[in-house]
Amino acid sequence: MAKAFTLSRMAQNRVLVGLALLSLALGLWQLGGAAAIHGKAWLAQRLLDRAWSATLAGGEEVKPWPWADTWPVARLKVPDLDVDLYVLAGASGRTLAFGPAVVPGTEGLNHRIFSGHRDTHFAFLRDLADGARFSLQGRDGRWRDYGVRGHQVLDLRHPVTAQRAQGAELVTLVTCWPFDAVDPGGPLRYAVTAQALAETEKTPEDTTTSPPLGEAAFLQPASGGTPLGDGAPLGAPAL
């Protein structure tokens, strides 16, 4: 009887040890997965650094890695919020994993639109208030300052159209909204629009024709209808 009891306790100990080892293995696997994700993000950033340096040296559409279907087209800095990002070509879901990207369709409006994920690269938009400033570096290496002039919440279930910039260039940063939504990819978008500032005075250029602070950068009917304004309808993947 004592021998049977001893064997039973040994079997139980083996089961407990096995479960402990299994739990340890699962924990290490999860840590390894997280480390791999961070490692890939770090490597992608270094490759984007190199691609942007080559672009500034005169390169055309310099891909960060050979199979990439995107490339850096600008650099975005918000010093007050410690933000430094590369803006990529082509706002696809695959591209947005590595940084904010340009939404095509407004090239003739003097109004650029960048989209990014609300929980990673564009999480800082919730803190970008009216009057805040950010800088963009172009392929020629020059930096240009922009001042935030308004915010909007857009509903993509209805037509949305970007307005033409009548004076200084406009740049709008777009992400999913609300920021604390449980499920990503809903129909609402949060848009922060900024206006180019003069290089010397750091004030809005051509203020006689530029829209006032807070005026909408996008036009949207309450329901249905056709797109309004001069530009192509806003379209972006889940952010």
In this prediction, residue 224 has a pLDDT band, given cuts at 50, 70 and 90, of very low
Q: What is the pTM of this model?
A: 0.75
The residue-averaged pLDDT of 175-190 equals 87
Query: Which pLDDT score, from 0 to 100, does residue 238 have?
Result: 45
The residue-averaged pLDDT of 67-91 equals 95
Query: Which pLDDT score, from 0 to 100, does residue 126 have?
Result: 95
Q: Has residue 3 got a pLDDT over 90?
A: no
Query: Which pLDDT score, from 0 to 100, does residue 239 have?
Result: 53
Which spans in 138-220 are helix H?
A: none
User: What is the separation of C-alpha 85 from the centre of its chain, rounded to a whole number of angstroms?
Assistant: 9
Rounded to a whole number, what is the distance in angstroms from the first to the last CA of the chain?
66
Both structure tokens of 172: 């709008």
Query: Which pLDDT score, from 0 to 100, does residue 107 have?
Result: 84
C-beta of residue 75 within 8 angstroms of C-beta of residue 102: no
Mean pLDDT over the full length of the chain: 80
DSSP letters spanning 212-228: PTT--SEE--SSSS---
Q: What angle do CA 225, 227, 231 make, to 5 degrees?
A: 175
Cα distance between residue 195 and residue 206, in whole Å: 11
pLDDT digits (tens, 9 = 90+) for 207-216: 434 445 445 6
Query: Which pLDDT score, from 0 to 100, does residue 127 have?
Result: 96
In this prediction, residue 56 has a pLDDT band, given cuts at 50, 70 and 90, of very high
Cα distance between residue 27 and residue 20, in whole Å: 11
- Percent above pLDDT 90 for the chain: 52
In this prediction, residue 189 has a pLDDT band, given cuts at 50, 70 and 90, of very high
In this prediction, residue 143 has a pLDDT band, given cuts at 50, 70 and 90, of very high
AA letter at 52 = W
51 burial (CB, 10 Å; 0-12 / 13-18 / 19+) is buried
Both structure tokens of 208: 């006689």
Query: Which pLDDT score, from 0 to 100, does residue 170 have?
Result: 95
Least confident residue range of 71-80, 81-90, 102-111: 102-111
The residue-averaged pLDDT of 163-185 equals 89
In this prediction, residue 91 has a pLDDT band, given cuts at 50, 70 and 90, of confident
Query: Which pLDDT score, from 0 to 100, does residue 230 have?
Result: 41
Q: Which of 80, 54, 79 is nearest to 71 (CA)?
A: 54
Domain covering 69-219 in this structure, CATH number: 2.40.260.10
Type and span of the H or E element at 51:
helix 2-56
- 113-123: burial string, b at 16+ Cβ within 10 Å, e else: bbbbbbebbbe
Query: Which pLDDT score, from 0 to 100, does residue 188 have?
Result: 93
